[in-house]
Structure 1
């Protein structure tokens, strides 16, 4: 359950962070390549191309990283339980 929860939390945080980075990259693209602003083309480029791509990549990356981290923590907890106790 912990693994699924952390994967979902990573997904949500990754989507928000990725969308933010996507908007920033889109604005940088517009400035660097002097994209036309005729009829809102520059805004549509940022919010219909860069933001969704950033959200997609960020969501997948966040869910994967948080899921792997939770899975490894779960494996470590099982290994700690199976180790024999040494008294000394």
Structure 2
């Protein structure tokens, strides 16, 4: 018989071991979104090129279309005359 005993190796992971989330500035988001609108079927290729998920880029594109992305100023009202 064999003397081999199968013992599972236990590895302890901590939160510091994983990658941190990246923070994208509004300027970077706008640049990436505008790049994705150039040409046909550019969402997946653009997301892959910048190392982000396609769903994240789709969310940014929706925010861009709704005017929610990159609005640096606060909302103000114009007087009606």
Give the TM-score normalised by the residue count of structure 1: 0.26
Give the TM-score normalised by the residue count of structure 2: 0.27
**Normalized per residue, which structure has more helix?**
1
Which structure would you say has the larger Rg? Answer: 2
Select the structure with the greater relative contact order (CA < 8 A; seq sep ≥ 6). 1
